[in-house]
Chains A and B, each alone.
Chain A
Amino acid sequence: MPSGTSSDVIRFLKGALAILRRLIDGIALLLLAYMAGAILMQIIGRYFFNYSIAWSEETATFAQVWLTLLGAGIAMRYNQHVGVDVLIRKAPLPVQRLCNAAGLGLGVWFLAVVVVGSLSMVSIGMIVKSPALRIPMAWPYMALPVGFGYFLIEFAITFAPKILRPETDKTEVPA
């Protein structure tokens, strides 16, 4: 039963994607909460205890890097990335298909280059320690392959269907 197996695979993939998305949402929320908490601590420390916490700024910045890179994938999921498609939507269907296919290919290429290129940063980051907390820089650098990898998945899921059915393409209003 090839059709039965392939639908099983699709169901499994859909389930895995749903779990991945929930996990990423949860992590992103924790990161935002951590950033806000760390900066609040820094202010309280400076005014009420006359003591500056050197690592609060550093860890909050690391959290921001993770938050941005995971958030970029989340935004891709909801089609929130700004793009100009007024002109392309007026083009003939074959042109639209061609543009969307080229866009998909180039986009995947760019995201893949970032993922691969960031691996050499991660390996440098194993040796180098952060200025304040002295933790390996690999921790923040790891956000690059993970975040862009997730971005790539969401980008492919959003963009691939546009090759077949460009006319259904409707950019959501980021409100």
Chain B
Amino acid sequence: MIVAGGGFLLLLVSGVPIVLALGIAALVAIELTTTVPLSIVAQRVYGGISSFTLMAIPFFVASGLLMEAGGIARRFVNLASALVGWITGSLYLVAIVTGTGLAAISGSGSADTAAISAVMTPEMRKRRYDIDLASAVIAASGSLASIIPPSIVMIVIAITSNQSIGAMFLGGIVPGLLVVAGLMSGCWLHARQDAAVQQDREDFSFDKLVKAFIAALPGMLVPVVIIGGIIGGIFTATEAACVALFTTLIVTMGIYRELKPSDLPRICLKAISLSATVLIIIATASVFTWFIATQGLPALLRDWLTGLTDSPFVFLLIVNILLLIVGMFMESISAVLILLPILQPIAQSYGIDPVQFGVITALNLSIGLITPPYGICLYVAATVAGRRIEQVSRKVWLPLICMLVALMLVTFVPAVSLWLPSVLM
């Protein structure tokens, strides 16, 4: 066990791709401590990815990338500035609202972060915004993609804890909007203290809003198809993802006409390789979890945790701290696959609803997307803005505090995550 864990951590910081670090650590541990034939590795890898439900991931990734290549980010930025551009510190708020819109289309945050940063940082620089703080805020806006449906992390959480993807998606909406509200108020308060940007706003124009709304409307079809289709009982999650992909094709090629058929292979190949990086981690992580399961670790951890406290609140607090630390160093999907099979049954024994627990997990790990040293959204935002990760890291406290406040609400008020699924499903 220690071999597997220690080896994994060592490989993790040595620059080996996580997918191989997981596999190698598990393989070494299996070699050293068991007599099981090594064909177990191939067998688990196959089992990890041979899942119809997981197919939602390539579809969501492809439709997100197509939307972004098809000009949706620009339209959402225009709509967002018409909506909130009249408020103090407007460009922070525009970034957050744009992130919210993109989050409703895409399943993971790094592409959203890159799109927002590319469109917005030049303007922010011109208007003398603090680019490091702006990048941290943009990273947080991009990380919303994991909480607001569709979300790839939530798909994996739902599958791992045997819950319906639809319920998990609905459970993420209110917490996601809470994070949005938190980020917006945090940035607004901060902008009022900042001499450079406190006067930065534009006049509100209803005309402009209507025009921007109409331009962005076709792009909003995608979330409507996904959520409406699942709630309305028309599709399963995988089918909804597939229909979202076809809707995206119609919107970007038929309505916006910004994508040509000749662009498709390039974008689809990118979608294939990006979703493969997620799915292949699921595959090798299942070798790792197999090893952990055969070593009886889940039972050990369960005994230790349940011996520690009877209170579900204390338990959830411990889980939050654990997940925040893990999220600092690890990529979300592998964190879910390694930890959730252990934590979820314990949570259930404390009487915590699996959907709430899944949303807590997702929110913790989307915070991990902006925490150094390893936070993919922070990394992308810094790179696109041309800043070093250390510089941006110094300003991450502001969005971080806002997200932590939302996390506390989700953790200690079950209705935040459970109310919407209970009303709609």
Contacts and interface: CB of A to CB of B under 8 A. Distances in A.
In-complex A–B contact (CB below 8 Å)? yes
Interface residues of A, number: 64
B283 interface: yes
Contacts of B271: 32
A144 B44 CA distance: 11
Consensus secondary structure, chain B interface:
helix
A117 B41 contact: yes
A120 B39 contact: yes
Interface string A30-57: 0010011001101100010000000001
Given A109-B24, A174-B277, A81 B373 contact: no
Contacts of B52: 57, 60-61, 64
Contacts of A81: 17-20, 277, 280
A61 B16 contact: no
Nearest to A83: B17
B354 interface: no
Nearest to B17: A81
A32 B239 contact: no
Interface residues of B, number: 67
A94 interface: no
Contact of B15 (A42, A99, A117): A99
Nearest to A72: B280
Contacts of B281: 82
B14 A102 contact: yes
Nearest to A40: B242
Nearest to A46: B239
Interface string A103-143: 10011011101111110110000000000000000001100
A35 B58 contact: yes
Contacts of B37: 117
Given A39-B239, A83-B18, A61 B42 contact: no
Interface string B49-82: 1111011001100100000000000000000000
A12 interface: no
Contacts of A120: 39, 42
Given A71-B277, A75-B280, 8 more contacts: A71-B279, A74-B276, A75-B277, A83-B16, A103-B15, A107-B20, A110-B23, A120-B42
Interface of A: 25, 28-29, 32, 35-36, 39-40, 42-43, 47, 57, 60-62, 64-65, 67-72, 74-78, 80-89, 99-100, 102-103, 106-107, 109-111, 113-118, 120-121, 140-141, 144, 155, 169, 171, 173-175
Interface of B: 11-21, 23-24, 27, 37-43, 45-46, 49-52, 54-55, 58-59, 62, 110-111, 114, 234-235, 238-239, 242-243, 245-246, 265, 268-269, 271-277, 279-281, 283, 329, 331, 373-374, 376, 379-380, 383-384, 389
